[in-house]
Amino acid sequence: MACNYEIVQIVVGVLVLGLFDSRTAQCRPSRVLESIEYSALSCRKHTASLTDFGGVPDGKTSNTKAFKVAIDKLSSLAGDGGAQLIVPPGKWLTGSFNLTSHFTLFIQQGAVILASQDESEWPLLPPLPSYGRGRDAPGDRFSSLIFGTNLTDVIITGNNGTIDGQGESWWKKFRNGELHNTRPYLIEIMHSDRVQISDITLINSPSWNVHPVYSSNVLVQRLTILAPIDSPNTDGIDPDSCTNTRIEDCYIVSGDDCIAVKSGWDQYGIKFGMPTEKLIIRRLTCISPDSATIALGSEMSGGIKDVRAEDIIAINTQSGIRIKTAIGRGAYVRDIFVRRMNMKTMKYVFWMSGSYNQHPDPGFDPKAFPKIENINYKDVRAENVTYSARLEGIPQDPFTGVCISNVSINLTEKPKELQWNCTNIAGVTSHVNPKACNLLPEKEEPINCPFPNDRLPIEDISIQKCKI
Ligand SMILES: *[C@@H]1O[C@H](CO)[C@@H](O)[C@H](O)[C@H]1NC(C)=O
Ligand SMILES: *[C@@H]1O[C@H](CO)[C@@H](O)[C@H](O)[C@H]1NC(C)=O
Ligand SMILES: *[C@@H]1O[C@H](CO)[C@@H](O)[C@H](O)[C@H]1NC(C)=O
Ligand SMILES: *[C@@H]1O[C@H](CO)[C@@H](O)[C@H](O)[C@H]1NC(C)=O
Ligand SMILES: *[C@@H]1O[C@H](CO)[C@@H](O)[C@H](O)[C@H]1NC(C)=O
Ligand SMILES: *[C@@H]1O[C@H](CO)[C@@H](O)[C@H](O)[C@H]1NC(C)=O
Ligand SMILES: *[C@@H]1O[C@H](CO)[C@@H](O)[C@H](O)[C@H]1NC(C)=O
């Protein structure tokens, strides 16, 4: 370890002379300097700084090797209390790198991890088995900037340090049809258990920002995610075939859905068969004029169930909650519970689309009807709305068990005449204004749509106070 006793001695010595260099001091400052406290699923016994491994924060030198050497070295401490790698203030240009288990990446305030624009810095990975192909192109996909697979206990956090995807050049290539592989995400954690991503800012991702996939016990907290509102596919957070996920206190401005809940695509997702379930989303603020605050789908072929969303704010956003599916997806979206949404300047408050006909290839099963049932929305306020609801089920496959209660919607100056446009759906409403469609009749006795009272395991996961 570079972060040894001698270095601490030197730091203390220099400190006495009042001349210490704050960058060296990041190495082990806990007793001698202002220490940083943070909350995490696990604390680590060992600490190192990227500078200990030859990192250069000038925004020009590639640090891909420094990250690799650092994390390879620190992975040997997994069995001895684990390690935290500090990314100190400065601009750290890097290509894709891989995380390890029992490990924390801590991005300090003033640190910016800058994504390289050189394609050779991004290894290619095969398509996800539940998708069958890349999202942008049928070939491989560029590994995400920060990638991890088959890990336990991995944390990406900071005191609001930044990851800058420098997405502009990728967006340009995407728009010009110049990509032969799928664009990278900023963070993808695959086949992992006990994952935390918190207290950092993500800007200008080439595509999706945060993608936990095939994982469990995932905690996402206090992220600021920013991308131009016209940037392509810059989804905020995409829990995909994950169990026990909690997303809270995030602020997202993006060019695509702020949160998109997924579980694989058509025949590939059906075959893989891994749902997203036990998902909590709370205290989210979203701005996304062309997309949804929370989308369920469109890739939902492993199923989506038991989603609980509450205290959601949306401003200048296309829709509140949107279900997207199509024939060929199969599986289900069921047991969805949403309460306390507050929205302003929305095209649609509620939107369900049964004809989201994007398919990976012509090999999808035309008899794979998705089952959409037990969808519950209550305590919703919205103002300056164009359409209250567009609820489009599938002929021969209606969406059922829709319950909507205590909803107050004020319309724009020039609202559309048909406020509730309903086809192939069934359910009830209560205290909804403007009055809903005939397919969602108002109950004579007022009802309160359900929201579960029990707690999910991810709500009771223990969180430690850690120090650097
Ligand atoms: C990260 O791990 C994946 C899967 O093991 C591998 O294909 C990829 O090359 C690794 N990336 C880097 C930058 O080493
Ligand atoms: C990662 O985990 C998955 C699912 O358990 C398994 O199929 C795969 O072989 C593992 N990969 C590695 C590199 O261990
Ligand atoms: C983190 O930084 C972003 C971007 O500068 C800022 O908008 C946000 O308010 C900061 N969050 C916290 C918790 O300090
Ligand atoms: C209301 O919504 C319209 C778009 O439908 C928008 O142009 C206008 O600025 C909004 N008004 C307010 C007061 O936010
Ligand atoms: C209706 O929803 C509002 C929030 O939008 C809430 O303050 C109010 O208590 C709810 N009313 C009932 C009867 O639950
Ligand atoms: C809708 O407008 C009415 C009358 O101006 C107001 O009392 C109510 O609070 C508004 N509701 C919402 C959700 O903005
Ligand atoms: C109602 O919804 C259907 C299906 O989404 C759409 O095709 C139709 O144009 C809508 N009608 C109006 C008047 O908005």
Which of 355, 345, 246, 330 shows the shortest CA–CA distance to 287?
345
User: Catalytic residue numbers?
Assistant: 256
Which of 220, 278, 229, 277 shows the shortest CA–CA distance to 249?
220
Residues of the chain falling short of pLDDT 70: 1-33
**Which residues are near ligand 3 (CB < 6 Å)?**
160, 201, 224
Residue from 224, 226, 252 to probe ligand 3 pocket by mutation (most atoms less than 8 Å from CB): 224
Q: Residue 415: what pLDDT?
A: 87
Domain range 235-359+366-468, CATH class: mainly beta
Q: Residue 73: what pLDDT?
A: 98
Q: Residue 1: what pLDDT?
A: 39
* Distance (Å, whole) CA 217 – CA 247: 11
Q: In terms of residues, how long is the chain?
A: 468
- The minimum-distance atom of ligand 4 relative to the CA of 344 is 14
Q: Are the C-beta atoms of residues 147 and 185 closer than 8 Å to each other?
A: no
Q: Residue 107: what pLDDT?
A: 98
What does residue 109 show for φ and ψ, rounded to 5 degrees? -55, 135
Q: Residue 30: what pLDDT?
A: 41
Which of 468, 359, 351 shows the shortest CA–CA distance to 28?
468
Work out the burial of residue 137: count CB atoms within 10 Å of its CB; fewer than 13 is exposed, 13-18 middle, 19 or more buried.
Answer: middle
- Cα 290–295–299 angle (5° rounding)? 110
Q: Are the C-beta atoms of residues 283 and 249 closer than 8 Å to each other?
A: yes
* Distance (Å, whole) CA 400 – CA 416: 25
- CB 421 less than 6 A from any atom of ligand 7: yes
- CB 390 less than 6 A from any atom of ligand 7: yes
Which of 241, 138, 234, 155 shows the shortest CA–CA distance to 191?
241
- CB 96 less than 6 A from any atom of ligand 1: yes
Other CB atoms closer than 10 Å to residue 445's CB: what's the count?
5
- CB 35 less than 6 A from any atom of ligand 6: no
Q: Residue 19: what pLDDT?
A: 34
DSSP run (H or E) holding 173: helix 168-175
- CB 384 less than 6 A from any atom of ligand 4: yes
* Domain extents in the chain: 235-359+366-468
